Amino acid sequence: MCGVFGIFGHPESANITYLGLHALQHRGQESAGIATCDGHQLYLHRGMGHVIDVFPPEQIEKLRGEIAIGHVRYSTSGGSMLKNAQPIAVDYARGSIAVAHNGNLTNAEALRERLEERGSIFQTNSDTEVIIHLVAISTQRAVEDRVADALGQVEGAYSLLCLTDQALIAVRDPLGIRPLCLGVLPGNPTCHVVASESSCFELIGAQFVRDLDPGEMIVIDRRGLRSSRPFSKSAPRMCIFEFVYFARPDSTIDGVSVYEARKNLGRRLAVECPVDADVVIPVPDSGVPATIGYSQRANIPFELGLVRSHYVGRTFIEPQQSIRHFGVKLKLAPIAHVLRGRRVVIVDDSIVRGTTSRKIVKMVRAAGATEVHLRISSPPNRWPCYYGIDTPTRSELIASTHSLDEINQYVTSDSIGYLSLEGMVEAVVAARSDGVSQRSLPVMQGTKPSADRDFCHACWSGQYPIAFVPHPRHRQMRLLDT
Ligand code: SF4
């Protein structure tokens, strides 16, 4: 759960990176950082909190040069503290380098142990620092070859940006688990940008060029842009969770509109899990497109039955325990006018522990709904993610320990329905801009994508595309309290 942004060849590289990170803020809110280079000196500023708090104008002014990389972080490996904020920058025998990483390395602990045995001293708990040490000790001459050499030894998910004295290097892991795309600034064809999501290009006025291919490395320097594929070819496994929940709906990833994918998920959900109801409402904001799709397919009116507050501060002091359901009430409020006397379908993208869903169902019923039916636009979430999305351990995922009936009882809904794994994959594939019309979705005839093809869906299926063997030193991932 991180976002990366990079730019080459612009006199205001730090300012534009700031804007790019601002548009990627949904990918991580714990810390933010920018590194720049003017060809002689590397400049770095990082801090805890949101982009707008970490970068007052006087800080951005200090970041000089025409090359920049930036990072917003939500920790999945290493704790939430300043020393783990990115970019991570070091001086080593061959110069200076800064690295920004989205993803998670599954063999980081084993590599770290090996490196420490031969004398490396680590400054952070982050798996990303392993890459820097491997670059530093590589025997290759050119920096891009050193980066490729280092990445050839790591396993897991990475969309990686490296800033050197003279170049911006961008790499997507061989399975393409995390997204990474390329853009260009109009009127300046030598000014390239690279980002986790295309949605940030709109804000900075860049044109989308293409997604990086799985396993592709791009080097941008004064000689132009060079692309190579330094790793052996693998079948791609893009994280399908990006389409279900994580990415912004105005992004397009690997040819799939996130917004259309989510509407398709809702349409397919309406086919697989129908119910008689008067109104269908989303859990805002991420559940909105799927609810539109559900409403269209089921022919049930779409309404906003819950409103979300966007102003929940990080340092809010909770009043006494006696105010029940305070956490959810701080974020969501029911519109009784919409709910009273109605049979209501609530559409959400996923259920993690079930505690939030239970509070929402109770809130909607208390506002006067006569029936409350919960519909989830993804399958039951039973497995943790090891590739960079912050999920709880298996025992904390309600679907791994409870049957459908038990979940329905726990969240106190009148009925519950999840989308099937096949339905999820088909709905996302059908949103590809190269093709299949969304109107062909209800029966999905003619589109028979294998659930194993193209996507990682391990947190629902348990089919991990990269084996994860816990290392004795493996630090527990931090838990996400939903
Ligand atoms: S396990 Fe789930 S969240 Fe993690 S990469 Fe795979 S699909 Fe995405």
Q: What is the pLDDT of residues 198-226, one digit of tens each?
A: 999 999 999 999 999 999 999 999 999 99
What does the block give as tokens for 41?
Answer: 């000196």
- Which one, of 126, 96, 98, lies nearest residue 111 by Cα? 126
Neighbours of 279 (CB within 10 A): 18
Per DSSP, the three-state class of 182 is strand
Q: Which residue has the higher pLDDT, 247 or 437?
A: 247
What does the block give as tokens for 252?
Answer: 């397009």
Residue 476: per-residue pLDDT: 44
Answer yes or no: are the C-beta atoms of 361 and 297 closer than 8 Å. no
- Residue 173 — left, alpha, or beta (φ > 0 → left; ψ -120 to 50 → alpha)? beta
What does the block give as tokens for 306?
Answer: 């819950």
Residue 240 Cα: closest atom of ligand 1: 7
Query: Is the CB–ligand 1 distance for residue 239 below 6 Å?
Result: yes
User: 351: CA distance to ligand 1 center in Å?
Assistant: 15
273 is catalytic: no
Query: Which DSSP symbol is given to 367?
Result: T
- Largest Cα–Cα separation, the chain: 72
pLDDT range class, residue 392, cuts 50, 70, 90: confident
| Residue bearing tokens 């170049």 | 167
Residue 435: per-residue pLDDT: 46
Phi and psi at residue 3, to the nearest 5°: -130, 145
Helix axes 421-429, 258-272, angle to 10 degrees: 140
Cα(199)–Cα(23) distance, rounded to whole angstroms?
7
| Pocket probe mutation, ligand 1, options 456, 457, 466, 468, max atoms within 8 Å of Cβ | 456
Per DSSP, the residues of 202-238 read HHHTPEEEEEPPTT-EEEEETTEEEEE--S------E
Query: Is the CB–ligand 1 distance for residue 364 below 6 Å?
Result: no
pLDDT range class, residue 313, cuts 50, 70, 90: low
Cα(405)–Cα(419) distance, rounded to whole angstroms?
15
Residue 390: per-residue pLDDT: 81
Answer yes or no: are the C-beta atoms of 66 and 42 closer than 8 Å. no
User: 240: CA distance to ligand 1 center in Å?
Assistant: 7
* Pairing verdict, β 279-282 and 181-185: unpaired
Q: What is the pLDDT of residues 227-283, one digit of tens each?
A: 999 998 888 999 999 999 999 999 999 999 999 999 999 999 999 999 999 999 999
Query: Is the CB–ligand 1 distance for residue 240 below 6 Å?
Result: yes
The average confidence (pLDDT) of the chain is 90
pLDDT range class, residue 325, cuts 50, 70, 90: low
pLDDT range class, residue 467, cuts 50, 70, 90: confident
Set 2, 239, 385, 459: catalytic member: 2
Residues found in the chain:
482
User: 455: CA distance to ligand 1 center in Å?
Assistant: 9
